[in-house]
Structure 1
């Protein structure tokens, strides 16, 4: 049976459309189970009926014409119960309903199983026989397995089918076709799509020898120089739009092409007799395979960068004409995967959104998109690229969705939201120089997250009161080796001076989990529960002490540094880290008199830290709650996994209860508490966090004025009333609905709830 199943899946995956998919399923299943009839009924949302779509053994002329309501017949019963039904005499069952003209009167045995994808019943798969008998357990198990295996393929085929008929008829009523992926950059984009294809296929290069290696090397160097020129040009173009730290990505690209990296390795292959094209293909594909095989998401993303460089090199070696795309008006860029260099080629102001089949929120493109304010969704694994070129699309960067074939009502809803966004953005400027103070005088500090996407001037121009989270690992991630103490000191000093006298909270090196260094790989089967955060740096005090020394030196004569310890799970880790910090300080104070000792805080990111929060609060100077990781660990959800990303919700009661517990413990211990992550950047959630007692919120600078404008519009009494009501609720959706109703009641626009309510 397993061989039959593999063959069915293989044949179905190659089908060109939904009808071909269903025809293959019924034919193959009928043969595999040696039954007389196999039929597929598909659910049609528009009519709310199960349509007789494909059959082997019954009347094919009735396909697509006959259907059952959701509560009709054995098919409706299978779907409503969401479980198989196995009968030896179908006609005697109370739910039996004979469909006219399909010729099933003579068949008695009936076995039907639902086809379910992501909790949605797509249809019902049925087999029948004349003989009165129940299908045995192995037959039932096989049909269930087939339905489960093919559910994703059928779901994809249905989506493509929903787009294709519209293309053919031109007058069919539009019905939203939604593709769910990973939300990587907030915002709404509405525009026609342009599909980006690679300029050269590295896998299509045959192995060829060269007769004159010296001449081939000269040809390779000429192409290499052209690619380097391209990279420098793209870096300069990006420099007009981004901070210097962000354009450093192109310096990394250039380093990859050096003689001691890819360039040198390719040259060695040419010297050994390979043609330049064959050498590039061999070397680049080898590196791509190595990186793609790694468990760590960051390292996997490096494969995209290497592939981009390889394809550009190959295009010049093969003299492939550079592709040109129409950007007379803003477009949504769609591709299997995108790179920073492709992004840089798009004219300024002509990018309405980004959608890719592959990629995560850690990719270089996602980082750049967030910095430029471009709505971005990645991980759209079921996206039918060829069907979407030049089609009008909506990209929802808040909820991680791409919408094709949108109805007039959906288009109007998103247009209204875009217009409201623009109006609010224009109105927010008035708040940038005002304190974040409620109408009854309660103040809360709004700070920014910083790192590779930091832009001190922009953050300060928007009224940031400091840096709540400076990600020191970014400098490590874009380097080819551990940065020296002096290199770190210079980078840290720049941040401290930019925000002085405002506080800058620097998180110590936080690698592992979703971040690994190219030159210090961590290979684990479950990296999020493995060697990460303080576990790594305490095991390597030589790395930790160098970083601490760099921080302390950078803080000389300034005094606005705060040190944050990431991923602390037990008190002993705090004690060990504090001892190393004190040792470094005592050594440095000999050469730098009056060197200030910064405050030392713990980042609460795991449940164990929440349960020990009273103890931690007594043993450190401040607490910073990392809401993204804490939400992930509390809910056991990887938000970068599209299959479960919808379960990631920071309004989950467990998340809010944990936040409340942390804030209360800090208040009791009389130490400052802050929170960073998506929760702090959500204006409605910020109301709750303020009411809980957090002293500061840290977020990206793009969210700062939205949060401030809402908090300045509310009283502390209203915020505490909302919190009391929320803490009584036990469902995330109920909490969001409650907040929306109550914020509307006190005349606060529902924009601050995000687009989620508008896109249901």
Structure 2
């Protein structure tokens, strides 16, 4: 059954269009399950009815004409309940509806399973039999699996417009859920950026000049030949003659009388060089992968590799300066930060990346530049989106294709309101962050790049609450030297002097790997990361701490923060190394450096219960609410399939944050917070009620949070907190926050509604 399932999935994935895919499904499923009937019903959102779209066993004349509302028949019942229905005698079921057009009166057994994509029923897959019998568990599981595969095909078809349940109808609106990587909303046209040297992504295209395409291809062939010869020469003294002969075999494959001749033939027929190359290489690979001879099968990998090498030269050599229209939404499988330098900023409206997380290089840059971004859209058929109008919602982490006029107008209004709001907030950016009853709340900046210091200070940032030093390490090709770090840290400390700058020691591992120091782990988020890594590599830790201390000479505004603390022993070992570096610089080099304050990050649940012990060993606490939330809820916030379960407003998270603040106050230990919750206006009001002494956030969040805090009293924030802590669910908390913000006239500070 598994082999059958795999073959069906492969055939459906390779289908040229939706109707072909549906035809494959009904034919293959009916045969595999040995049933009399297999049918597919799809939801038409305009009619709000399930329409029979393909069948084998029922009357073919009913296709496209028979439909059922969700409240009608067994098909509607399956779609309504969103779970399988397995009956041995369907006509006796109270929801059974006789449809004479289908000729189904002679069938008794019925098994229907919903086709669900991202919690929405797109249709129903049905098998029926004349004999009265109940389908067994294996058959039911098989059909559920087929329906799950069909759901992805249908979602892709909706985006491309090939799913037209009603002939001549408009494309269906589809929402794709990903990860909110940078806040903001954008409406624009998709510009799809295909990955380089990906043979499968090359599209068929006629060429303008056959002779020019041939010259380009032959130049690429020569370049790859030279590369292979160079590699062969470099390895000549290190490999045997037999292994050296492999390079000659590669060169022979590239010969103009071999693969090259076939590609040239297709170019002469009018195909452009990239398309001709991709066609020839994929055809050879497909053939070789099927042969029984193991040696020949391995040659498929060689040909694929050669094809990619030639394609890389074709794409590099044939690159034309791209033209970008206004409100461009860059879409790709894995967008790179270099693209941000290629697109004029005034034309770039947003970024959509199938892969990636909120902590990727691209996301960090996008937030710093104020570009709305959604990442981790694993189900997005990005290759089919080029030129389509999309809505990008960076608050919710959603991309909406084929938006209807109503939704489009709602988002257009929101974008206008957000623009007006930004202007209004800029006008009061220089005012102090003080509540209506006179309580001062310092707002700090989260940064990891060379920040726009002038803008941050103009917005009223009272220092840096979190400087992510790992960003410099992630962007480098090796561990940065001590003096390279000194230069960067000195810029930050000088720019904000005399305001405090909190520098977190290297926090790599988990979702932040270093390209030159890969860490392979089965569960990286619970693995060798943060303080665990740097204590195991004291040479890296000491170099960084010395660089921080050197950079602070004469400024005295440095604070050091230790990440991923889960025990007091880690703090003791880290402080011993910090003291060692300080003594070495003072006594060994005579630098006049004052001891910086050293703090611990509370982001591991274990630390939550050790605050009294930590208070004896650190000067302050800083809560990393992002990781703390992730660990408390056991939710990987960078996994789009479960990211919707991640929320800083979960009652357990709020109780944990309130307890941390209370325990820190009891120990007379300063406590701040530097996660996403602090950068949300409603979240900031809750944290004010808990007693957090300063809040640290991204630059774009500063004006909104300041506006919220300036419009409330501490008493109001505590009253709101009491209601939130009494809630049993995240939805209840969010509901209370929404009412509170609206009643105070602060609803305009939140993201898009609905």
Query: 641, 648, 654: which is aligned to 1:643?
Result: 641
In 2, the alpha carbon distance for the partners of 1:734 and 1:542 equals: 49
In 1, the alpha carbon distance for the partners of 2:361 and 2:309 equals: 17
Does the 8 A contact of 1:687 with 1:719 survive in 2? yes
CA shift, 1:276, in A, is 14
CA shift, 1:421, in A, is 0.9
In 2, the alpha carbon distance for the partners of 1:598 and 1:264 equals: 53
Query: 589, 596, 599: which is aligned to 1:598?
Result: 596
In 2, the alpha carbon distance for the partners of 1:709 and 1:277 equals: 67
CA shift, 1:199, in A, is 6.9
- Provide the alpha-carbon RMSD of the alignment: 3.3
* Residue 3 of structure 2 corresponds to residue 27 of structure 1: no
Does the 8 A contact of 2:444 with 2:697 survive in 1? yes
In 1, the alpha carbon distance for the partners of 2:80 and 2:611 equals: 47
In 2, the alpha carbon distance for the partners of 1:723 and 1:655 equals: 13
Pair 264,532 (structure 1): closer, same or farther in 2 beyond 3 Å: farther
In 1, the alpha carbon distance for the partners of 2:507 and 2:353 equals: 28
Pair 477,446 (structure 1): closer, same or farther in 2 beyond 3 Å: same
Q: How does 1:377-396 map to 2 (within 5 A)?
A: 377-385=374-382, 387-396=384-393
Does the 8 A contact of 2:18 with 2:163 survive in 1? no
Q: Deviations over 1:705-749 (max 9, x none)?
A: 11111111111111111111111112212212211112211222x
Pair 94,163 (structure 1): closer, same or farther in 2 beyond 3 Å: closer
Q: SS where residue 39 of structure 1 aligns?
A: strand
Q: SS where residue 754 of structure 1 aligns?
A: coil
What's 1:483 paired with? 480
What's 1:102 paired with? 102
Does the 8 A contact of 1:17 with 1:161 survive in 2? no
CA shift, 1:313, in A, is 6.5
In 1, the alpha carbon distance for the partners of 2:703 and 2:740 equals: 21
Q: SS where residue 572 of structure 1 aligns?
A: helix
What's 1:284 paired with? none
In 1, the alpha carbon distance for the partners of 2:110 and 2:665 equals: 66
* Residue 501 of structure 2 corresponds to residue 523 of structure 1: no
Greater shift after overlay, 532-541 or 47-56?
Answer: 47-56
CA shift, 1:551, in A, is 1.6
Pair 734,160 (structure 1): closer, same or farther in 2 beyond 3 Å: farther
CA shift, 1:459, in A, is 1.5
Q: How does 1:577-616 map to 2 (within 5 A)?
A: 577-590=574-587, 591-592=589-590, 594-616=592-614
What's 1:495 paired with? 492
* Residue 675 of structure 2 corresponds to residue 677 of structure 1: yes
CA shift, 1:399, in A, is 1.2
What's 1:372 paired with? 369
Report the TM-score, using the length of structure 2 for normalisation: 0.83
Q: SS where residue 26 of structure 1 aligns?
A: helix
Query: 657, 660, 671: which is aligned to 1:659?
Result: 657
Pair 732,200 (structure 1): closer, same or farther in 2 beyond 3 Å: same
Q: SS where residue 75 of structure 1 aligns?
A: helix
Greater shift after overlay, 544-553 or 509-518?
Answer: 544-553
Does the 8 A contact of 1:52 with 1:64 survive in 2? yes
Report the TM-score, using the length of structure 1 for normalisation: 0.82
Greater shift after overlay, 686-695 or 606-615?
Answer: 606-615
In 1, the alpha carbon distance for the partners of 2:657 and 2:165 equals: 49
What's 1:722 paired with? 720
Q: Deviations over 1:647-680 (max 9, x none)?
A: 2221111111111111111111112111112111
CA shift, 1:611, in A, is 2.6
Pair 344,532 (structure 1): closer, same or farther in 2 beyond 3 Å: same
Greater shift after overlay, 512-521 or 477-486?
Answer: 477-486
What's 1:537 paired with? 534
What's 1:464 paired with? 461
Q: Deviations over 1:91-122 (max 9, x none)?
A: 22333221221001111222223333343333
What's 1:303 paired with? none
In 2, the alpha carbon distance for the partners of 1:450 and 1:615 equals: 30
Query: 536, 540, 547: which is aligned to 1:550?
Result: 547
Greater shift after overlay, 616-625 or 68-77?
Answer: 68-77
What's 1:629 paired with? 627
Pair 275,182 (structure 1): closer, same or farther in 2 beyond 3 Å: farther
* Residue 333 of structure 2 corresponds to residue 314 of structure 1: no
CA shift, 1:586, in A, is 2.7
In 1, the alpha carbon distance for the partners of 2:635 and 2:397 equals: 16
Q: SS where residue 619 of structure 1 aligns?
A: coil
In 2, the alpha carbon distance for the partners of 1:486 and 1:311 equals: 41
What's 1:16 paired with? 16
CA shift, 1:526, in A, is 0.9
What's 1:85 paired with? 85
Q: Which stretches in structure 1 are left out of the alignment for 5+ residues?
A: 206-214, 225-261, 282-308
* Residue 140 of structure 2 corresponds to residue 143 of structure 1: no
CA shift, 1:358, in A, is 3.1
What's 2:4 paired with? 4
CA shift, 1:578, in A, is 1.5
In 2, the alpha carbon distance for the partners of 1:269 and 1:36 equals: 64
Greater shift after overlay, 26-35 or 183-192?
Answer: 183-192
Does the 8 A contact of 1:37 with 1:55 survive in 2? yes
* Residue 327 of structure 2 corresponds to residue 330 of structure 1: yes
Query: 677, 680, 687: which is aligned to 1:689?
Result: 687
Does the 8 A contact of 1:357 with 1:379 survive in 2? yes
CA shift, 1:136, in A, is 3.2
What's 2:120 paired with? 120
Q: SS where residue 620 of structure 1 aligns?
A: coil
In 2, the alpha carbon distance for the partners of 1:640 and 1:569 equals: 22
CA shift, 1:367, in A, is 3.0
CA shift, 1:196, in A, is 3.2
* Residue 340 of structure 2 corresponds to residue 343 of structure 1: yes
Query: 418, 435, 459: which is aligned to 2:432?
Result: 435
In 1, the alpha carbon distance for the partners of 2:199 and 2:126 equals: 45
* Residue 38 of structure 2 corresponds to residue 54 of structure 1: no
Q: Deviations over 1:129-181 (max 9, x none)?
A: 11222223433332233334433333433444477689x94xx4675321222
Q: How does 1:175-254 map to 2 (within 5 A)?
A: 176-197=173-194
In 1, the alpha carbon distance for the partners of 2:379 and 2:190 equals: 16
Does the 8 A contact of 1:509 with 1:537 survive in 2? yes
Query: 398, 401, 404: which is aligned to 2:401?
Result: 404
What's 1:285 paired with? none
CA shift, 1:345, in A, is 2.4
In 1, the alpha carbon distance for the partners of 2:558 and 2:549 equals: 8
Count how many residue pairs are aligned between Structure 1 and Structure 2.
Answer: 677
In 2, the alpha carbon distance for the partners of 1:337 and 1:31 equals: 40
Does the 8 A contact of 1:467 with 1:503 survive in 2? yes
Does the 8 A contact of 2:192 with 2:330 survive in 1? yes
Q: SS where residue 105 of structure 2 aligns?
A: coil
CA shift, 1:410, in A, is 0.8
Q: SS where residue 731 of structure 2 aligns?
A: helix
Greater shift after overlay, 561-570 or 7-16?
Answer: 7-16
What's 1:448 paired with? 445
